[in-house]
Every structure is written in C-alpha cells, then in structure tokens.
Amino acid sequence: MAARPDTEEIPLARPVLGEEEELAVLDVLRSGQLSLGPRVPAFEHAFAQRLGAARASAVSSGTAGLHLALRAVGVRDGDEVVTSPFSFVASANVCVFERARPVFADIDPVTLNLDPDAAAAAVTDRTTALLPVHIFGYPADIPAFERHGLPVVEDACEALGAVHPDGVAVGARGNPAVFGFYANKQLTTGEGGVVTMADAAMKERIDSERNQGRAPDMGWLDHDRLGFNYRLSDVACAIGLAQLERLDGLLADRARVAARYSEALGGLEGLGLPCPDAGGNVRGWFVYVVQVPRGHDRDDVLRALREHGIPSKPYMPAIHLMTYYRETFGHREGEFPVCEDVAARSLALPFFPEMTDGQVERVAAALARVLGQAP
Ligand SMILES: Cc1ncc(COP(=O)(O)O)c(C=O)c1O
C-alpha cells in the first residue's frame, strides 16, 4: 500500500478501487451488454459462494433488497414488523413501503443490536416478521429471533465479513439477508445490494420482482405480477466481482484500522468504544463509532473535531425520533431509552481500509484534545 503523507486531509470514508475494477468495467463496456447480461449471475454465484449461502439475487440497493425480501416473506398491508430503532432509516422505511407498521423495540447497550427480549415483548398477533439489523457489522443473535416461528429478514447491509458463533457467515443462515454496496461499505459497486436466501422459490420471486414482475421464461413485455426496476447493472456486477477478489484484504485492513483505533482511544475516560468480539461472534468492520463521554455534547465534539480538520458524523440518529416517524406514528422521546442514549452520543470517526496508523493517531489526538484529555 502506498504511504500517504499524514498531513493530507482525512476523509470520513474512501473506497479502494484499482486497475482490476477499471479493467472489469472496460470489459463490460466493450461487450455491449450493460444490463441483464452474464455478470449478474456470475456476481450472484461468487457472492453466495463466498458466504456459503445457497443462493443470491443482485439488486439495485440495500433498500431495494430489504423491500423485496419483506414482500417475499409475505409482509403486507396492516402487518407489524418488529425491528430496531437504531439503524439506517431504510430498514424501517421498507415496512412502510408495504403499508406495514415498523414496531420498534430497544437495543442491547453493548452490541447495539435489537435486544431479543425487548423484541419478544413487542411481538403481537399482527406481527408477521422480525427484521433484526447487524448494526455496525456486529452479528445479531439470529437464533433468538427465529424462536418466534415467524419469518426473519436480516438487514446485513453493514455486515459483510461478519461471522456467527457457530462459524456460519452472517447472511448464510438461510433467512433472506440483505447486503448493501454503497461506496462506504466493505464491498462497493457504487450503489447496489444482494439478497441471500436458502429458498429457490424465494429467489425466483425476488428475481422477478426486481425486473418488473417478469418470469424468467416470459416474453420481454409480459409480466405476471407487480414488480419494480430494482436490477443491478452488469457494470456494477463487474465492479462487485473485482471487489470480491480483494475482499479478504479489505476486511483485514478494516480490522487493522479498528484495532489501531481501539488501542489509541482505549485510555480516554468515559469514551464508549465499539464492543470487542465476544462469545465467538466476529464483527465485519464497517465503521468506527464511539460514544462521547457523558457530560459532553456530541454535536459540540463534532464541531470541535471539524476545527481540527477531522470529519465525523452523528451515527446513527434514532429512527423513531425522525420527523417522519414522529408525525406518522406519534413516537416521542423516552420510548427506547437505551437507543436514545446511544444515538445521542454516537459519533462515527474517519474509517477506511487504507487509513494509516498516523491518520488514526491524528484523529485520536484531536479527540483527546477536544475532550480535554490530551496528555
Ligand atoms: C443498516 C442499513 N440498512 C439499510 C441500508 C440501505 O442500503 P442502501 O443505501 O444500499 O439502499 C443501509 C445503507 O446505508 C444500512 O446501513
């Protein structure tokens, strides 16, 4: 890896793209088949194999994948879906797309994932699915959610590379699981996503609904169900194939940067760090999010870091307290105290595979100064 000078401006995130991706894209351009071509099944096959999943469907985004996965397990008008309020807004929005109600339950204060006991208490006779999120790449306790005998849709958009305690990769348990490939993700296709699943009929339905409801053996303008344009192009799939080739290195680099951060920040009093892997869970590192010490205002810390030239982001805001969710569902402060406390103190620091030790140390030193804890 080329050393970057440590005085360079530090971005919040930066994808790693090289000659392999350039050549892969050129190949597609020269082939003339930019969509609905051979790179789509090739990428799906390689992605499923990499995870140990039975099958995969490439889609235009993580959001599109979550939407199709919810439809595929039968969520419809008037249903309830139990999910986490500490997530990117898309995991709740997709329930609303189908006129189902996202029913939030509080999170575990350590893993920041949906708390299985809180989720159990939120299940009613109108619940038709649970939608746990592997937040920040830390595996959610999927067997605990499966106990209800209801379909489980896994939001694995942030969790490529994560592994459950039994050695099964996140996304390979058989439930529909959705990955996202926006540019800050472990693997990127610019925009894009994949749904993994065990069930062949589910793949058939998702493949049809991503392509305007067309069955594989139908004529071009014949459609036997309602569908969407949620296709992923061959250009994007070619980038995805090249990114898969370098995925081991990308994940290892992310883990290295995270370890360096945890070392550099470990001495700061009151600062909450991402939980270390425990009980056999392996995190697929996506972001490095800290919680500012109590008594500090997170937004003041963010502004002060910016003055030191360090970008950071409030990550994540609680979904139930967003304007749309307050106005549509009547949510208020105090409903999910763990989530609200974590969301109010969370700050994503610059994090990307090529981040140097020197850059991590610059961020850590700036944070120490801002918190009044510089040596
Ligand atoms: C937890 C989670 N869910 C869903 C999504 C949506 O993915 P996309 O942006 O690809 O639609 C994201 C991506 O940011 C995410 O982090």
**In this model, does residue 352 exceed pLDDT 50?**
yes
Q: What is the pLDDT of residue 296?
A: 98
Q: What is the pLDDT of residue 8?
A: 74
pLDDT classification of 1: cutoffs 50, 70, 90: very low
Q: Pick the closest to residue 74 from 127, 119, 128, 122 (CA basis).
A: 128
pLDDT classification of 306: cutoffs 50, 70, 90: very high
Sheet holding 346-349, edge to edge: 288-291, 346-349, 313-314
Question: Is 203 annotated as catalytic?
Answer: no
What integer best gives the mean pLDDT of the chain?
96
Distance from C-alpha of 360 to C-alpha of 345, rounded to nearest angstrom: 20
**In this model, does residue 211 exceed pLDDT 80?**
yes
- Percent with pLDDT over 90 in the chain: 94
Structure token pair of residue 120 = 């159990």
**In this model, does residue 6 exceed pLDDT 80?**
no
pLDDT classification of 7: cutoffs 50, 70, 90: low
Judged by DSSP in three states, 152 sits in strand
Distance from C-alpha of 106 to C-alpha of 337, rounded to nearest angstrom: 7
Residue found by looking up tokens 């793949």 in the block: 203
Angle between helices 234-245 and 19-31 (to 10 degrees): 150
**In this model, does residue 375 exceed pLDDT 90?**
no
User: How many CB atoms lie under 10 A from the CB of residue 178?
Assistant: 33
**In this model, does residue 3 exceed pLDDT 60?**
no
Distance from C-alpha of 121 to C-alpha of 93, rounded to nearest angstrom: 22
Which residue of the set 164, 185, 214, 260 is catalytic? 185
pLDDT classification of 218: cutoffs 50, 70, 90: low
To test the pocket of ligand 1, the residue of 12, 61, 88 to mutate (highest count of ligand atoms within 8 Å of its CB) is 88
Distance from C-alpha of 302 to C-alpha of 291, rounded to nearest angstrom: 12
**In this model, does residue 351 exceed pLDDT 60?**
yes
**In this model, does residue 63 exceed pLDDT 50?**
yes
Lining ligand 1 with CB less than 6 A are 61-63, 87-88, 90-91, 133, 155, 157-158, 180, 182, 193
Q: What is the mean pLDDT of residues 280-299?
A: 98
Judged by DSSP in three states, 172 sits in coil
Judged by DSSP in three states, 246 sits in coil
Q: Residue 2 to residues 5, 20, 128, 354, 366: CA-CA distances in angstroms?
A: 10, 17, 51, 9, 24
Q: Pick the closest to residue 93 from 122, 113, 70 (CA basis).
A: 70
Q: How far is the CA of 371 from the centre of ligand 1 (A)?
A: 31
To test the pocket of ligand 1, the residue of 157, 179, 287, 316 to mutate (highest count of ligand atoms within 8 Å of its CB) is 157
Q: Pick the closest to residue 312 from 333, 335, 289, 328 (CA basis).
A: 289
Ligand 1: residue whose CA is nearest its atom 14: 88
Distance from C-alpha of 193 to C-alpha of 59, rounded to nearest angstrom: 5
pLDDT classification of 9: cutoffs 50, 70, 90: confident
